[in-house]
Amino acid sequence: MSDTTEMTLEQREATIGGIGCSRRRKEDIRFIQGKGNYVDDVKLPGQVFGDFVRSPHAHARIKSIDTEKSKALPGVLAVLTADDLKPLNLHWMPTLAGDSQAVLADEKVHFQNQEVAFVIGEDRYAVSDGVQAVEVDYEDLPALVDPKRALAKDAPVLREDVAAKDNVGQGPRKHPNHIFTWDIGDKGETDQAFSGAAVTVKEEIFYHRVHPCPLEPCGCVASMDKIKGELTLYGTFQAPHVIRTVVSLISGLPEHKIRVIAPDIGGGFGNKVGAYAGYVCATVATIVLGRPVKWVESRIDNLSTTSFARDYHMTGELAADKDGRITGLRVNVLADHGAFNSHAQPSKWPAGFFNIVTGSYDIPAAYVSVDGVYTNKAPGGVAYRCSFRVTEASYLIERMIDVLAQKVGVDKAEIRLRNFVKPEQFPYKSCLDWEYDSGDYHTALNKVLDAVGYKALREEQAEKRKRGELMGIGFATFTEIVGAGPSRNCDILGIGMFDSCEIRIHPTGSAVARLGTKSQGQGHETTYAQIIATELGLPSDDITVEEGDTDTAPYGLGTYGSRSTPVAGAAAAQAARKIRAKAQKIAAHMLEVAEGDLEWEIDRFKVKGLPEKTATMKQIAFAAYQSVPEGLEPGLEAVNYYDPPNFTYPFGAYLCVVDVDRLTGEVKVRRFYALDDCGTRINPMIIEGQVHGGLAEAFGIAMGQELTFDENGNIQGASLMDYFLPTAVETPVWETDHTVTPSPHHPIGAKGVGESPNVGGVSAISNAVVDAFAHLGVTHMPMPHTPWRVWKQCEALGIGE
C-alpha cells in the first residue's frame, strides 16, 4: 500500500530531508534573484513618507517649535509634534521595562538625535526638505554623559517627568537618575569565601557601548483602512505579535483590528525587538491622513537612536584556593541605560540573565549587584546577538578566570579544566539559581586543545617572548542561557514567553506550518521544515513555513535570545507529534488493526510483524479527508503552544591565537577555532553559517566597534564612515567544530546556537590580546583593541618603539 516500497530505509530518510542534513535554504531562491520583500520594498497605493526632525543637543529644554515654513513647502503634508500627540495620549509610550519613553520630545530632549517632530510628505525628498525647514528653539542644559556621575548629589536631573517617583517599574530608587538596584546570591556566604581565601583578584571591566547595526535599518509602513477601521502595520519586527499587542494597548485600537506583518528582515541581532517612535508616528500619521505612511530610518538614525547594546561598567572579584579552584565570585555593575529604561527583556529581569555569570564553572558562592542609571544617551540596552546580558556576564567571568590564572600561575586551559562543572553534576544547580540542563565541558575543551596542538602553541609563544615578540592565546569556555523562557520566570507585558506552531496537512500530503517567531536570516523556512519532516515523515520540500503575519500565525513572542529553536522548534515538534498521534488512529482504521499493533518507521506506520502492511503519511493525509474512523474529526492539523520547562544551556570552547605588532599596535587574528555544542543539530550548514557570522560580529566588537560621546553628549562615530563593521579583508578565517550534548528536556534535544559565537567570540579574542601581554604583568586591557589603544599599551610598557 505504499508508493515508496522499493526504496531502502536510507533512501527514504534522504527523501524526507529532515533533522541533521545540510539542506540548501528554501529562502535563498528569492534573495539571490532580488525578489526578497523587505519593508522598504513595500509600496502601497497612495503611500507617503515620514521622517524625523531630531535634536542636535543631548540635553535641552524645547522653548518653541515652528512648523509653519515646513508645512508651506510643496509636497509636505503635515508635521506632528508632541503637542499634536498629547490629545491622543501618544506623546509618551510605556516601555517593556516599566518606564515610559517620549515618542516625540515633550518639553525636553534627553539625548542627541532624539525625535522632536515628524514630517510627512509625498516623497522622501519633499520630507527631507520639510525636516530641514522645521525651526526648533532649544535652551541647552548640562549633559550627563558619565554614568559614574549620575548618582552624585549635584548631577543634573534628567528625567523631570519621573523625578519624584520612588519606582520607575523595577524596584526602589535612591536618586532621580537611578533606575533600579537588582541583586542576587548569598552576600554573607560570598564575603566569607573572600575573607578566608588563599588568593583573591579584582578587576574593573567595562563592556563598551556598541550597536548591532543590521544591514537593513529599522522601518515600517502603517496603513489605516478608515472604512473597516483596520490598521495594517508592516515593519522590521523580530516579535510581530508583541508589536500588535503594544500597538493595541497604546493606541486603543482593538487588537483584532490590527494586522502586523513582518516581511523579510535584513538582519536583526536584537535591534528590531523594541517599539520605536517611528512606528508610533507612522501609525498616527496614517490615522490622521488616511494614507499609508512609510518610515525608514537612516544609518545614522539607526546607530544613534535605536537600541544600542552593553555599556556595562563591571567590577569582578574572584576568591580561590592556592591551586586556582574558585571559591567565590563577587560582581558589581553600573549599567548605563541611557535616557529611558526601554531595554527589551523579560520584565522580571532588570539585568537580564546576568546571573549566568558563574559561567561553566562550579562556583560555590557568588553575589551580584547591578545598578541601572539614566544618562543623556539613546535608550536601549540588551540587543546585539545576546540572550539578555549573557554576553556581558560571560565576558566578565571569562576575563576574570584569566586574571586568576595569571595570579596563581596556572595555565589558562588548566584553570578552566580545574573549575568546570563536571559531566556527572548535570542537571547542575548554580549558586545563582539556574539549573543547567546538560553539558560536557571537559570533552569540549580537550577536543579543542588537541585539534590546535595547544602545547606547541604555548612553546611557540615562549620562544617568541624570548625574542621580544608578542603572541597571545585566548580562550572562551562559555555557557549560554537561551530559550526564554518558562512562563514562571519570563514574561513580556505579562504574557508568558511561550511560542507556538500550527501545522496543517493538506489532502495530498504537503503541509503548511505557521509559527510565532520571525526569521531575520536564520533560515527558519528551512530548519522548521526539517523538524516537521522528521516528525511526520513528509519531505521537507513539501512543507511551507510561514511567519510574521499576525493574522495567520499563532501568537508567539518572536525571535531573539536564540529562542526560536528551543521554544518554537519545540512547538513544531510537539504539534507534529499531535498530528502523528491522530495519523496513527487513521492508519489503524485503514489497515484494520488496533493502534497498538502499529509502529512508526521514517515516513509510515507499519503493522508489527507484517512489514508489508503499511500506511504512509501521505496516504494517511488523504484518508484524513476521506474516511476517518467513527468518532474522529476529519482533517489533519494541530497547534501547539510550548511553554518550556527550562532554559537550554548551549556551550562552547573557543581558542584564538593573535600576533601583535608592538610597533604599530596592530593585532592579527592568526587562528580561531570554535567548538560549539548546541545539542541536536538540525542543519549543520546553517549552524556553521551562524557561527561564522557571530564570530565576525564578535571580532568587530572586540577589535573596533564603539559608540562614544563627548562631554556634551554628542555621539561620535555614528555612521559607517567611523563605526567599524569588518570587511572581508579584516575578518579572520573561522574553523568550526562541535560536540553534541542534547538538551534532556527539549523534544528533539536542540539548544539554539545563533548567539553563542558572539558570546564566546568576544571573550576569546579579548583574552588573546591580553594574553599577548600577560608575561609583562598586564591583567586587563579595555575593548575595543584598536591599534592605537594596543600601541598605547606597548608604549606604557616601554616596548612601543
Partner 1 sequence: MNKTAVKMTVNGQAVEGKAEPRLLLIHFLRDELGLTGPHVGCETSHCGACTVDLDGKSVKSCTVFAVQAEGANITTVEGMANADGSLSALQEGFMQEHGLQCGYCTPGMIMRAHRLLQENPNPSEAEIRMGIAGNLCRCTGYQNIVKAVRYAADKLNGQREAAE
Q: What residues line the site for partner 1 (CB under 8 A)?
A: 24-25, 27-38, 40-41, 43, 123-125, 213-217, 264-267, 269, 296, 298-299, 520-523, 685-686, 688-690, 692-697, 719-721, 725, 727-729, 731, 733-734
Q: Residue 111's closest CA among 351, 385, 307?
A: 307
Q: Residue 553's closest CA among 158, 139, 272, 261?
A: 261
- Give me the least distance between CB of 303 and partner 1, in Å please: 10
Among positive and negative, which fits the CA dihedral 409, 413, 419, 424? Answer: negative
- Give me the least distance between CB of 41 and partner 1, in Å please: 4
Q: Give, in degrees to the nearest 5, the angle at Cα 354 between 423 and 96.
A: 130
Q: Indicate the residue among 211 and 745 with the shorter CB distance to partner 1.
A: 211
Among positive and negative, which fits the CA dihedral 382, 386, 389, 391? Answer: negative
Q: Indicate the residue among 524 and 582 with the shorter CB distance to partner 1.
A: 524
Q: Indicate the residue among 598 and 759 with the shorter CB distance to partner 1.
A: 759
- Give me the least distance between CB of 445 and partner 1, in Å please: 23
Q: Indicate the residue among 43 and 466 with the shorter CB distance to partner 1.
A: 43
Q: Considering 706, 755, 793, 794, which one is annotated as catalytic?
A: 755
Question: Are 602 and 536 a contacting pair, CB within 8 Å?
Answer: no
Cell output for 729: 579583508
Q: Indicate the residue among 84 and 688 with the shorter CB distance to partner 1.
A: 688
In the annotation, is 386 catalytic?
Answer: yes
- Give me the least distance between CB of 210 and partner 1, in Å please: 13
In angstroms, rounded to a whole number, what is the distance separating the alpha carbons of residues 221 and 202? Answer: 50
DSSP string, 182-214: EEEE-HHHHHHHHHT-SEEEEEEEEEEEE----
Cell output for 637: 492539523
In angstroms, rounded to a whole number, what is the distance separating the alpha carbons of residues 682 and 265? Answer: 22
Q: Indicate the residue among 227 and 728 with the shorter CB distance to partner 1.
A: 728
Residue 732: φ, ψ to 5°? -70, 170
Question: Are 90 and 102 a contacting pair, CB within 8 Å?
Answer: no
In the annotation, is 592 catalytic?
Answer: no
In angstroms, rounded to a whole number, what is the distance separating the alpha carbons of residues 418 and 413? Answer: 9
- Give me the least distance between CB of 30 and partner 1, in Å please: 8
Q: Considering 101, 112, 238, 530, which one is annotated as catalytic?
A: 238
Among positive and negative, which fits the CA dihedral 543, 545, 551, 553? Answer: positive
- β-strand pairing of 199-210 with 308-320: antiparallel
- Give me the least distance between CB of 215 and partner 1, in Å please: 4
Q: Indicate the residue among 36 and 744 with the shorter CB distance to partner 1.
A: 36
Q: Indicate the residue among 176 and 754 with the shorter CB distance to partner 1.
A: 754
- Give me the least distance between CB of 259 and partner 1, in Å please: 22
The owner of cell 544600542 is 308
Question: Are 236 and 262 a contacting pair, CB within 8 Å?
Answer: yes
Q: Residue 698's closest CA among 771, 779, 755?
A: 755
- Give me the least distance between CB of 699 and partner 1, in Å please: 8
Return all residues near 247 (Cβ < 8 A) that are at least 6 apart. 231, 233, 253, 258, 260, 279, 283
Q: Indicate the residue among 31 and 625 with the shorter CB distance to partner 1.
A: 31
Question: Are 512 and 543 a contacting pair, CB within 8 Å?
Answer: yes
- Give me the least distance between CB of 159 and partner 1, in Å please: 32
In angstroms, rounded to a whole number, what is the distance separating the alpha carbons of residues 184 and 657? Answer: 35
Q: Indicate the residue among 266 and 742 with the shorter CB distance to partner 1.
A: 266
Q: Write the CA distances from 565 to 483, 531, 540, 573, 676, integer angstroms.
A: 8, 10, 17, 10, 15
Q: Considering 54, 159, 244, 385, which one is annotated as catalytic?
A: 385
- Give me the least distance between CB of 690 and partner 1, in Å please: 8
Question: Which run of H or E residues covers position 767?
Answer: helix 756-772
Q: From the CB of residue 147, how many other CB atoms can be counted at a distance below 10 Å?
A: 22
In the annotation, is 501 catalytic?
Answer: no
Write out 238-299 in H/E/C secondary structure: CCHHHHHHHHHHHHCCCHHHEEEECCECCCCCCCCCCCCHHHHHHHHHHHHHCCCEEEECCH
Q: Indicate the residue among 44 and 799 with the shorter CB distance to partner 1.
A: 44
- Give me the least distance between CB of 125 and partner 1, in Å please: 6
Count CA atoms within 13 Å of residue 604 on its CB side. Answer: 22
In the annotation, is 755 catalytic?
Answer: yes
Would you name the residues annotated as active-site residues?
238, 385-386, 755
